[in-house]
Structure formats: C-alpha cells, structure tokens
Structure 1
Amino acid sequence: MRILLLTHSFNGLTQRLYAELASRRHDLSIEFDIADSVTEEAVALFRPDLIIAPFLKRAISESIWSRYCCLIVHPGPAGDRGPSALDWAVQQGVRQWGVTVLQAEAEMDAGPVWASALFPMRTGRKSSIYRHEITEMAVQAVLSAVERKLRAYYLPKRVPEEAHGLIGQADRAIDWQHESSAAILAKLHAADGFPGVADRLFGQPCHLFDAWPEATLKGPPGCLLGRRETAICRATVDGAVWLGHIKPAGGIKLPATLAMPDAEKLPELPLAGLWKSPTPTWQDISYEEADWNGNAVGFLSFEFYNGAMSTSQCRRLTEAFRWASSRPTRVIVLRGGSDFWSNGIHLNTIEAAESPPDESWANINAIDDLAEAILCCETQLTVAAVGGNAGAGGCFLARAADFVWVRDGVMLNPHYKNMGNLYGSEFWTYLLPPRVGEEGARAIMRHRLPMTAPEAVRLGFYDACLPGHGFAIDVARRAAELAAASDFTQQLAAKQARRQGDEAAKPLADYRAEELNEMRRNFYGFDPSYHVARYHFVSRSAHSWTPRHLARHRDLDWKVPA
C-alpha cells in the first residue's frame, strides 16, 4: 500500500514503524503535522491508500479523516481515551497497559479499533516504557491493522470507552514533607521526558526530570542532602531520591548541578565503591565482573540521560574504561544504558556553555579520546553491546570496539548531517570504509534515514543482531564464550597486529586531525547551520516544514504511481 505517516516529529516510534513498514515493501512518505492546510496538501500530493499517525499532539481534521482511513496509535489499551493515558498509568502504578490502533473520527480516541496489544507494566519512567514496551506493542498492533486493511473485508470494532482527563501539574505536584520516595518517584517517572514536574529549587521555579531511587541516605523531608557529579539528592519522608536533570524556568533541560549553579554549595556524596554500588543510588557509570572458570569478563555500563555524552561524562567514562582495561579480564563489554547506547556529544550542555563553539570543540575531543582508548586497548577484546538506540557519534563510538552486537528493534542513525551538516568524528573515516567499502561509507554518511539492526549487520557495519528478548543474557553468554575461546590468545595477538599495521599505514592521529579540521569549520566557520540546528533541537522548536528526505511526495519530480 501507499502509506502516509502523519506525525508530530520523526521520533523513535515513528522511525521504527517506518522501518518495519518499509521492510514489507509498502510505499511510504512522511509529513509533519504542522497545519491542516499543509496536511491536506500532502494528502493531495501522495494520495495514500492509508494514513497512519504514530505520534500526534492534535486531532486530524475532518477534511482528511472523512475521506481517508486514518489510523491513530494510542498508548493505552482498547477503550482508553485521553492525551495523558500513559502518564496516568505510570503515576497510578497500573499492572497492565497496552497500545491501540483506532480509526480517526470527530471525537478523539473514540473511533473503532483495528488492533490492540497488551503488556505487563514495569516500574520505570514514562519515556523508557514508551521507547520499549509501547514501541514494541505499537509495531505489533500497526502491522496487524495494516494486514487487516489489506484484506479489505475486516470490520473494526467499537469498544466501551473509559476517558482519562488531561493530567496537569496540580496532579503531579510533590509534597516533599509528607510523600514517600515511592510516591514521589511515581510522579517524576510519569512526567519524565515531557513535561517534567513543576517545583522549586534554591528559590527558583523549575521542572524536575531523571529521578533515581536512593537506598541509604536520609534527612529532613524536602532538604537537599548533597550532590554527586551532576545529580542532586533530596530527602523524602522515608528516605531520598536523586534528581538528575532540571529545566529552570525559561531555560533548557540540563544536568541538575549545571542547571542550578547554587548546587555547588552542597556537600559531595561520593559512592562507597569505585564503580559499583551494592544499593540503589544515582550512578551514571557502573562496572561489574563475572568469572567463568578463570575467564573473566568486565561489564561497563553508562546510563547517560537520552544518550547524550557531555565533555565531563566522556572524560569520566574514558577514565573508567582505562581502569577496566587494567583489570585481569579477557573481555570488556560496553553496555551503554537501558534506553540509549549513545547519541554522541551533549547538545544541551553545549548550548548552555558560555562559548558553544569552544564547548563543542572540547566535547568532540573528549569523545574522540574515549574512542581512541577503546581502539587502542591491547589487553582485552572489546564488545559494544548496543541494547538501546544510538545516533550520530554514538554509532561510530560503538564501532570502535572489536565486536558490535546490536539488539533487534534498536534504531540507529549513523549520520551527522541532520545536525546542520556536521562532518562527524569518532574516527569514522578509519572505522567505516574497511567494513562497508568507500562507496558504502559515502552512502551511509549521505543517508539521513534510520537504519535497523539487521540492516547494519547486512551492510557489514555491525557484527551480529541478537533477539530483543533476553538480549542481556545472550550478550553475557557470548562474552563468556569469547573469553573462554581456545584461540583467545591468537585473537588478541591478531588484534594487536592489525592495529600496529594500520598505525604504520596511517596513524590514528592523522585520521583524527583530518576529521577535526572539518569539525572546526562546523564549529567556528562562516556557515552557522550547526549552531542554528542545535538551537532548534535544544529549544524543541516547532517544525515549520518536513525535511525533504522524509517527505518524498514533495520532491519536484514526484508522480503518483499509476
């Protein structure tokens, strides 16, 4: 079918659905939901057989849904209605939730149901549940609905409705003097991503995000107990919670201590252990080891919010990796975080810096230092276990490892151009061509559409695509087998020989200098495209048009197939 994806933005869910539908040979185009007149124009140009709306913030106009079948992806079970469905579910701690694909009508979320899917709810952030369970169930439900539409004789069913009103800040408000840590975490989790929970810190109005539990620290309810790296710990009636990110009134979302400079006056609360804490607490970098008959594997995790890696985070992770490589292990697994592996440099901290060009330069050099440390590790075999989405420099940082194992369902965006035509670094000019060829490398860097895990393996960019269910267990098993392999010593020696041969042919320093010379133009040159794109990204500016690589129907030579 010819399917138009109508969406507020090309978010992770929309990317996943685009990839799944494209793999089934549907003819696709995308239009951002900017205005009714713009959508009407897109529909007239593309003349779709079906319109799918994975992520909207307003209703589809009657001029469209009355003439075309429009399927809405709603993050709630069949019969659920309301724009805050998932927020309420997370905040109220429901045990089962779902996704529904329903047909657009005059009344929001009230149309007949084409497909639905249920899943058990876990305790977690709304943003995380959306990226995992909601996305997986949405794919399942949308593909089922599309198949039913193809059959032409399926009759969608109306179901009894239960409406949930819009959740407001009054519903999210935290009473730090009387509410438990669990209740406060539920409210913060339900607002994570957007819009956050309105509160006050250091006498300033702000919104809170990125909450973590704390198992041992306590103090007078509501008091700020201290800080750790970029996070702030605040006491509750029965313990404490950590606040990782804060958005000051009129500002942008930033790591808590950067958003609130007065946090520097708080006492530092270091971890009891070096990289691994035995109890729940705020910890963005952690390390653990497992030993199988004397063949040890180190697992280095980095839970960076939204996958962004600031200058200081890159430096701390480089320090952690170098420490891990000094351990008596055979394999180091770089696990990233639960939602993202890495999305490269931290655009928000760059935007907030006194000199964004200088901070951009410091950040790209810090992530290059990390990539170089991984590339030059001679004592272990390294594995990037990409269990969460990755983008831009994060995709190439993973490729710096000897092996890259990626979870099926992960979406990759291994290109930089969408951010103001950035050239990119992280040694991609060294890492990519040997894997995919010179022409393949050019194609990947020009391509602005997402890449699936199977596609990355098929192209030779990554090494293995592992099933989504049980990914962590599968990674641990494979890493143990790698460590225990009878030819491990030969593999390590071959790795060292390859690196020495590559260094003799062209030093890593030369690749880095060439890439950074191009990046210097992006950061300091006459063309402001990167700075403009970064500002709009960080400020969450509303889209004024759909990028042409997404809106195929707006190509000058576009013609509706006969």
Structure 2
Amino acid sequence: MRVLLLAHSFNSLTQRLFVELRERGHEVFVELDIADSVTEEAVALARPDVLVAPFLKRRIPAAVWQRLPCLVVHPGPAGDRGPAALDWALLEGRTRWGVTVLQADGEYDAGPVWAEQAFEIAPGATKSAVYRHALADAALRAVLQALQAIERDEKPRQVVPEPLRGPVPADQRRIDWSRDDAATVLCRVRSADGAPGAKAWLAGRALRLFDVHPATPHAQDADTPPGQWMARRGPAVRVRCADGAVWIGAVREDEGDGAAPTAGLKLPPTMALPEAAALPEWPQSLWTDEGTAPLDWDELRYEEFGPPGARVGWLAFDVHNGALGERASARLLAAWREACSRDTQVLVLAGGADQFCNGIHLHEIEAAARRANDSAADASMRSIEAIDDLALALIDTTDRLVVSTLRGNAGAGGCFLALAADEVWSLPGVVLNPHYRNMGNLHGSEYWTFLLPRRIGLDASASLMRGRLPMGAAEALRRGLVDAVLADEAALRAQAAALAADAALPQRIAAKAARRAADEARRPLAEYRADELAAMRRNFYGFDPSYHVARHHFVHRKPHAWTPRHLATHRR
C-alpha cells in the first residue's frame, strides 16, 4: 500500500512505524503537520491509499478524512478519548492499557475502530519508556491489523466513546514534599516524564522534575526535613519525601521573571542548581558480588556472571534520554576502565533499558551558551572529545571481546559508540539513526570514519550517511551494522555467556589484537580523530550556523516550518 504518515514531529513512534511498514513492503511517505493546506497538498502529491497519524496535536482537515481513510493511533483502549491518555494511565496506576487505531471523523478520538491492542505497563516504568517500547509494539500490531482489514475491504466497528478527557491538571501532579511519600512522588513524576514534568518546589525554586528513582533507606533520612536535599550522586540529588527519599536526575525551571539563566532547559540538578554542586557526594561501588544486597540507584551499574574462565562483565549506563554530557562520558569512561581491571572474557556495554545512547547532551550545550566565559561551540567540542575518549577506550580494549547491546534506540554518536565494540546485538524493536546530518549537517566524530567502513565498506558508508533515514533492527542486521537480533534481555545475556564459554574465544581475541595492530600501522586512529574533529570545528565555529540553529530548535521544541525532503519523498 501507499501510506502517508502525518505527524506533528518525526518522533520515536512515527519512526518505528516508518521502518516497520517499509520493512513489510509498503511505500511510505512522511509529512509533518504544518497546516491544513500543506496536508491537503501532501495527499495530492503522495496519492496514498491510506493516511496514518501516529502523533498529532491538531485535527486532520475534513477535506482529507472525507475522501481518504485516515487512521489515528490513539494511546488508549477503545472508547478512551483525549490527548493525555498515557499520562492518566500511569498516574492512576494502571498495569494494563491499550492502543486503538480509529478512523478520523468530525469528533476528537471518537471515530469507528479499526484495531485495538492491549499491552502491559511494567512496574516503575516512565511514560517515555512505555511509549517507546510496550506502547510502540502494540501500536505497530494495531496499525498492521488495520491495514490488513482495509486491504480485505472490511469495515471498522462502532464504539460508544467515553467523555473527552483533557490534559492532566498541573496541580494533580504537583509534589508536596511534606505530604507525599516516595511512591506518590515516583508515580507523579513518571507519569509526566518526557513532558511536561511534575511541578515541585526545590531549593527555593519552582521546578519541573524528571528522571526520578527510588532511594534505599539511609540513617540521615530521619534527620532531614521533607523537601530538603541531602547529597548528590552522578547527575542526581537525593531529596527527602514524607517518608524515605528519592533521587532526582533532571529538572527544568520554567522561563519567566526571576528565573535562572538556564531556565527552559532540562538539566541535571547539579548543573541547573549551583547549590546542588556543593552537596556532599555519596559514592558507592560500581558493583557488588552475586547474591549480595542490591545497590542504591546510580546511572551506572556493573555486574558479572558466568564461571571462572568464562566470565561476562555487564556495564549498563542509564543516562536520561540517552544523552551523554561531558560529566557522564567521563564517568562512564572511568567505569569502563574499572571494569577492564576485572578478570572477564567478554565485556558488555549494555546502555540503558530505555535508550542506548543518542550522543552528546544538547541541553547541556545550550546551557553553556548562557554562561559567562563559555559558549555552545566550546561545550560542543568538549562533549565530542569526551565521547571520543570513550569510543577509543572500547576500540583499544584488545584483551577480551567487547559487545554492545542495543536494548533501546540509538542515534548519531550513540550508534557509532556501539560500533566501537567487536559485536553489536540488538533487540527487535530498536530503531537506529546512524547519521549526524539531521542536526544541522554535522560531520560527526566517535571514529565513525574508521568504524563504519570497516563494517560495511566505503560506498555503503557514504550512502548511509547521505540517506539520513532511521532503520530498524532487521535492516541494520542485513546491512551489517548489527551482528545479531535477539528476542529479549535474557537472550542477550545467554548469548554473552555462550560467547565467554566458547572454546575458540582465545583465538578470536588474539586475532582481534592482531587486526587492531595492523589497522593502527596502516593509519593511526589519531589521524581519523584529527580529521573528524577538524570538520566538527567548522560545524561549531564556522560561518554556517546550521548546527546551532538546529540544536536551539531541538532543545526548545520549535515546530517545523516544512518537512525535510529526505522524508517527504513525494515532494522531490
């Protein structure tokens, strides 16, 4: 079928449908929802059999839905209506929810239903994680079911719609530290993760909270008043609730009179709140022996499994939104070096369960533009150098095999950080964006000019970087960017254990070391890095401001003025 995807932005769900529908042989076009006249023009140019709307903030124009089947993907069960269905589900503690594909008509979310799919909400999941994983899986199943029904010339079923439910009022998610226990704080923030955040007072400022995690009990909790912070760890601060405490990993202050210079940016509290940087740090070991009590929350976690001589080291880094700032890159590099001191045969860089990595932290770079004696260009270069150091450490780990596991999506520098491993394994629903140009024509670094051609060749690398399109795990496997697509995390761990126990592993490690030495003799990695960074300096400091404009628009969620031509192929 010819399918036109109409969306407010090319977000994670839209990308997932884009790659999966193309994988199944459909011809897919994308148009961003700019204006009614633009949508009508897109329909005339693309001549679709069906329009699918995965993510909209406006109604589809009547001139379109009256002449063409228009399928709206609603993140709620049949009959549910409103723009914040998933927010309400998490806020109310639902453990099972649904996705509906309905036909657009004159009523908001009230058209006849083509398909419905249920899914489970994992305990402790954030709205963003549910949206990218369980909901996206269900939405894909529902859209495919709806398209098959249309192909068979079936009719949608009528459902009595429920009353329209609007956005969650801010006061229903506002945190009252003196009354709300940790479970309430976690629930409210998780239901607002991504956007808009849960409102709370902290350090005398009105903030929106994100990336909140449970904290294990500590003796100091009893001596700390609710709403007071106690310590920092990594990017986060520990704050006392009515009972116990939570770790807060990201905050945003609304812009307005009296706001801090970094208002409007989602940042680690230790960067957004100067007082937080002065808090005492509560460090903890990177790992514990098997069978011991679990550690308190940290963005880094290391574990080992397997018998002596066939040990696997598993290093997970769960950075918010997959963004690696300077501090996070340096901290992950230190953890990698510590893991390399352990006696393991396979070392896994696991990324986060939600997202693997999306490269540099654009909000932190935007904040640098507002600081005295700093600039976005300088911060961009420091961030690139920091993630380059991390990629180099992976490449230079030649005494064991290194595996990257993509449990969540990866983009830009995060894709090439994964490729620094010897093998890359992915879960089925992962979407990769292995290119940089969508962020203002960035050249990119992370040794991609070395890593990508050695996997897929020069011509294929050039084509991939020009294409600027996302790809699913199946396509990445075919094109050589990943080496295996496995069913779930249990399968990833089993594969790692089998690799560590492989009798041929010593020969593979020796061959790897020899190849690294030969590659270095042919052309040192330092030369690849120097050439990449020279191009990046032109992006950051040169006369073309495209990167800085694109970064600013991304950070502040500025709506698109047109659909990029690599997506709107019907407009070429």
TM-score by length of 2: 0.94
Distance 2:568 2:414 in 1: 26
Equivalent residue number for residue 481 of structure 1: 498
1:171 correspondence with 2:172: yes
Equivalent residue number for residue 442 of structure 1: 462
1:129 correspondence with 2:105: no
How far off its partner does 1:160 sit?
A: 5.0
- Tell me the secondary structure at the aligned position of residue 350 of structure 2: strand
1:245 correspondence with 2:250: yes
The 8 Å contact of residues 292 and 480 in structure 1, kept in 2 or not, is answered as: no
More displaced, 499-508 or 40-49? 40-49
Equivalent residue number for residue 333 of structure 1: 348
Distance 2:424 2:493 in 1: 13
The 8 Å contact of residues 113 and 159 in structure 1, kept in 2 or not, is answered as: no
Equivalent residue number for residue 558 of structure 1: none
Equivalent residue number for residue 321 of structure 1: 336
How far off its partner does 1:85 sit?
A: 0.9
How far off its partner does 1:362 sit?
A: 0.9
How far off its partner does 1:266 sit?
A: 2.4
Deviations 1:390-414 (A, max 9, x none): 0001111111101111111100000
| Residue type at the aligned position of 2:524 | P
1:529 correspondence with 2:546: yes
The 8 Å contact of residues 418 and 448 in structure 1, kept in 2 or not, is answered as: yes
Distance 2:280 2:57 in 1: 42
Distance 1:138 1:505 in 2: 48
| Residue type at the aligned position of 1:176 | W
- Tell me the secondary structure at the aligned position of residue 289 of structure 1: strand
The 8 Å contact of residues 381 and 540 in structure 2, kept in 1 or not, is answered as: yes
The 8 Å contact of residues 307 and 340 in structure 1, kept in 2 or not, is answered as: yes
Cα–Cα, structure 1 residues 275 and 366, in superposed 2: closer, same or farther, change >3 Å?
farther
How far off its partner does 1:375 sit?
A: 0.5
Distance 1:45 1:285 in 2: 49
Matching of residues 116-265 of structure 1 within 5 Å: 116-123=116-123, 124-161=125-162, 163-217=164-218, 218=221, 219-250=224-255, 251-265=264-278
- Tell me the secondary structure at the aligned position of residue 462 of structure 1: coil
Deviations 1:238-263 (A, max 9, x none): 10111111111222111111111121
Distance 1:347 1:288 in 2: 30
How far off its partner does 1:322 sit?
A: 1.0
- Tell me the secondary structure at the aligned position of residue 379 of structure 2: helix
| Residue type at the aligned position of 2:313 | G
Matching of residues 21-40 of structure 1 within 5 Å: 21-40=21-40
Distance 1:122 1:369 in 2: 35
Deviations 1:504-529 (A, max 9, x none): 11111111111111111111111111
- Tell me the secondary structure at the aligned position of residue 189 of structure 1: helix
The 8 Å contact of residues 399 and 513 in structure 2, kept in 1 or not, is answered as: no
Matching of residues 427-506 of structure 1 within 5 Å: 427-467=447-487, 471-506=488-523
Equivalent residue number for residue 285 of structure 1: 300
The 8 Å contact of residues 286 and 335 in structure 2, kept in 1 or not, is answered as: no
The 8 Å contact of residues 7 and 56 in structure 2, kept in 1 or not, is answered as: yes
Distance 2:161 2:266 in 1: 40
Distance 1:262 1:423 in 2: 37
Task: Give aligned-pair identity as a percent.
Answer: 53
The 8 Å contact of residues 254 and 348 in structure 1, kept in 2 or not, is answered as: yes
Cα–Cα, structure 1 residues 174 and 50, in superposed 2: closer, same or farther, change >3 Å?
same
| Residue type at the aligned position of 2:421 | A
How far off its partner does 1:369 sit?
A: 0.7
How far off its partner does 1:122 sit?
A: 1.8
The 8 Å contact of residues 231 and 282 in structure 1, kept in 2 or not, is answered as: no
The 8 Å contact of residues 213 and 280 in structure 1, kept in 2 or not, is answered as: no
| Residue type at the aligned position of 1:348 | H
Distance 2:441 2:156 in 1: 47
How far off its partner does 1:157 sit?
A: 3.1
How far off its partner does 1:440 sit?
A: 0.3
The 8 Å contact of residues 232 and 243 in structure 1, kept in 2 or not, is answered as: yes
Distance 1:546 1:432 in 2: 28
Distance 1:289 1:506 in 2: 35
Equivalent residue number for residue 403 of structure 1: 423
Distance 2:232 2:318 in 1: 17
Equivalent residue number for residue 48 of structure 2: 48
The 8 Å contact of residues 6 and 30 in structure 2, kept in 1 or not, is answered as: yes
Distance 2:268 2:246 in 1: 15
1:309 correspondence with 2:324: yes
1:375 correspondence with 2:365: no
How far off its partner does 1:28 sit?
A: 1.6
Equivalent residue number for residue 15 of structure 1: 15
Match of 1:362 among 355, 370, 382: 382
- Tell me the secondary structure at the aligned position of residue 550 of structure 1: coil
- Tell me the secondary structure at the aligned position of residue 311 of structure 2: strand
Distance 1:83 1:281 in 2: 36
| Residue type at the aligned position of 1:234 | V
Distance 1:242 1:100 in 2: 35
Task: Please list every run of 5 or more consecutive structure 1 residues that lacks an aligned counterpart in the other structure.
Answer: 556-562
| Residue type at the aligned position of 2:82 | G
Cα–Cα, structure 1 residues 293 and 224, in superposed 2: closer, same or farther, change >3 Å?
closer
How far off its partner does 1:22 sit?
A: 1.1
- Tell me the secondary structure at the aligned position of residue 344 of structure 2: coil
Deviations 1:498-554 (A, max 9, x none): 001111111111111111111111111111111111111111111111111111222
Distance 1:360 1:84 in 2: 35
Match of 2:529 among 488, 512, 520: 512
- Tell me the secondary structure at the aligned position of residue 300 of structure 1: strand
Task: Please list every run of 5 or more consecutive structure 2 residues that lacks an aligned counterpart in the other structure.
Answer: 256-263, 369-373
The 8 Å contact of residues 209 and 245 in structure 1, kept in 2 or not, is answered as: yes
The 8 Å contact of residues 62 and 106 in structure 1, kept in 2 or not, is answered as: yes
The 8 Å contact of residues 5 and 31 in structure 2, kept in 1 or not, is answered as: yes
The 8 Å contact of residues 78 and 159 in structure 2, kept in 1 or not, is answered as: no
How far off its partner does 1:278 sit?
A: 4.1
How far off its partner does 1:269 sit?
A: 2.1
1:420 correspondence with 2:440: yes
- Tell me the secondary structure at the aligned position of residue 34 of structure 2: coil
How far off its partner does 1:275 sit?
A: 4.2
The 8 Å contact of residues 88 and 190 in structure 1, kept in 2 or not, is answered as: yes
Equivalent residue number for residue 371 of structure 2: none
Distance 2:154 2:243 in 1: 57
Aligned residue-pair number: 551
| Residue type at the aligned position of 1:532 | V
The 8 Å contact of residues 212 and 281 in structure 1, kept in 2 or not, is answered as: no
Distance 2:463 2:166 in 1: 47
